[in-house]
Copies of this chain bind each other. A is one copy, B any other.
Amino acid sequence: MTDADFSLAIHGGCGVLPRATIPAAFAADVRAALAASLDAGATILRAGGSALDAVEAAVVVMEDAAVFNAGHGAAFNAAGGHELDAAIMDGRTLEAGAIAGARAMRNPIRVCRAIMASGDFLLLQGDGADDFARQKGFAIVPQDYYGTEQRRQMLAEMKALAAQGATARANEAQKHGTVGAVARDRHGNLAAATSTGGYTNKPVGRIGDSPIIGAGTYANNATCAISATGKGEFFIRKVLAHEISARIAYLGQDLDKAARDLVLVELPEWKSGAGLVGVDRSGNVTMPYNTEGMYRGVVTSRRPAQVAIFED
């Protein structure tokens, strides 16, 4: 890599449908959406645009795609509604913006960016977040914009499993789902963005790791940018993304080593399904996951866009 190279890595969550049962048409939709997301981000980066613009654009595409659990396609909570979490962070300034428990904004990551720009506050929840989106002129949608038939079916399945005390038997797609992007631009700046509907049948009001700076989302030009997916409560307890940054900064580990130690060794000890995408200051990318698969993609100035679901 040279200083003028760029990198973009994205994920559509480690909550993939089981390999044995994933419909071919669904997998094709996933691959197309991942490719469109990479293209949106790479177009910006190729032209010398900012990592921040690139991760926002990449995430917007995945929020709008029905196949991912974020924006349109968000998971249903226990009350049959949708509450969205998201965050964006600028590795150059360590500025960030985030929303939690939002119920009406169409594109949470755009609103996060506007919150970051506002400067005064960083994280808004509930009606306060949606009112901010309204005041700033962002697209507002009814709750049923988020739901899809597939997600409604997952809610019914999860409620049935919960009634049997058997939520442990849920598949990864029923439990997880998030989208995220990390980038390093041609100027050496890093950024991270994450957006999610949380897990299916989550309690009303539950906030996961995605909007928590240092847990599911983090970017710092001195170290790395991270966007995580999986059982968020564990990531909050590990302060996952900042922990990776700290091991790079203070132990001299490289990004891949730090990320793999957490995702492939330490989080499995807690029985936590987990995955992440990360990029370091030199543009090196890592995409570890400990689940059956992770919807993901990567493109750099030296490597054509590639998308994947399983180890294929």
- Would you give the shortest CB distance from A253 to chain B, in whole angstroms? 10
Please tell me the size bucket of the interface on A: 35 or more
Closest B residue by C-beta to A124: B205
Say whether A215 faces chain B, with CB atoms less than 8 Å apart: yes
| Interface: A207 (CB within 8 A) | yes
Residues of B with C-beta under 8 A to A205 = 124-129, 131-132
Chain B residues in 8 Å Cβ range of A238: 94
- CB atoms of B218 and A239 under 8 A apart: yes
Cα distance A176–B246 in the bound complex, in angstroms? 29
A123 vs B101: C-alpha distance in the bound complex, in angstroms? Answer: 11
User: How far apart sit A14 and B131, CA to CA, in the bound complex (Å)?
Assistant: 31
The answer to whether A237 touches B125, judged by C-beta atoms less than 8 angstroms apart, is: no
Q: Does A100 contact B (CB under 8 A)?
A: yes
- Answer yes or no: A296 CB below 8 A from chain B CBs: no
Task: Report yes or no: B122 in contact with A236, Cβ–Cβ below 8 A.
Answer: yes
Given contacts A212-B213, A214-B215, A243-B246, are A237 and B122 in contact (CB under 8 A)? yes
Q: Tell yes or no: A310 within 8 A of B by CB.
A: no
A206 to B121, Cβ gap below 8 A? yes
A39 to chain B, nearest CB (A): 31
The distance in angstroms between the C-alpha atoms of A187 and B236, with both chains bound, is 25
Does A233 count as interface, using CB distance less than 8 angstroms? yes
Name the interface residues of A60-115: CB closer than 8 Å to any CB of B: 94-96, 100-101
Knowing A100-B100, A131-B205, A215-B214, say if A123 contacts B236 (CB, 8 Å).
yes
Residue A117 lies at the interface, judged by CB distance under 8 Å to chain B: no
A20 in contact (CB, < 8 A): no
A233 and chain B: residue at smallest CB distance: B122
Q: Which parts of A229-277 form the interface with B (CB within 8 Å)?
A: 232-233, 236-239, 242-243, 246-247, 249-251
| Cα of A199 to Cα of B242 in the assembled complex, Å | 26
Residues of B within 8 A of A125 (CB): 100-101, 125-126, 205, 207
